[in-house]
Amino acid sequence: MPSKSKTGREKRQANRIESTDMAAMARELNKIQKDVKKLEKNSKDQNETLKALQKNLTKRTKIDKIIGTCKSCSKKFNLNDRSPRIIACGHTSCQSCLLNKSEIDESDITKKWFKCPECIYSTRLPYERTKDGLPSKNWTIMNHIQN
Ligand SMILES: [Zn+2]
Ligand SMILES: [Zn+2]
């Protein structure tokens, strides 16, 4: 039997299949383009979040430097031996400096003077109204360290 060339009907059918494929591909492409846009938006959002986080971190580092460090010994405050203490002038110094950098009061050797590293004021130690004889802890800084 000789092979027949495609009939008109077969050709039309082939065309229809082809155009159905094209429509499916177009739909697929559309979907991909939407996905790409979505991803681009997500990436933009993430970049903005990252920028905000970096800004916060820089700010936090600055704050740490300004209020998280003892001006007398330049060391970081901690919750124990270098706890921040509010001295008489209102400035804050670490516990270790108060204990180790105070000078004996020559008029009363049971007392000591601690010179504020930030102003001319001196704090007389020990304090009589606190259990440990030291100025009260600076809880704002204590909480900042904890967080
Ligand atoms: Zn100190
Ligand atoms: Zn001071």
**Contact (Cβ atoms closer than 8 angstroms) between residue 137 and residue 81:** no
* 9-to-2, 13, 22, 39, 112 alpha-carbon distances in Å: 19, 6, 20, 45, 111
pLDDT value at residue 11: 83
31 C-alpha to ligand 2 centroid (Å): 66
pTM of the predicted model as reported, rounded to 2 decimal places = 0.64
How does pLDDT run across 87-130, given as a tens digit for each residue? 999 999 999 999 999 999 999 999 999 999 999 999 999 998 88
39 C-alpha to ligand 1 centroid (Å): 51
pLDDT value at residue 20: 84
Residue 53 has pLDDT above 80, yes or no: yes
What one-character-per-residue DSSP string does 75-136 give?
PBP-SSTT-EEE-TTS-EEEHHHHHHS-EE-TT-TT-EEEE-SSSS-EEEES-SSSTTSSPP
Residue 2 has pLDDT above 60, yes or no: no
90 C-alpha to ligand 2 centroid (Å): 6
Where is average pLDDT lowest: 19-23, 24-28, 37-41, 93-97? Answer: 19-23
Instruction: State the average pLDDT over residues 1-11.
Output: 70
Residue 1 has pLDDT above 60, yes or no: no
70 C-alpha to ligand 1 centroid (Å): 5
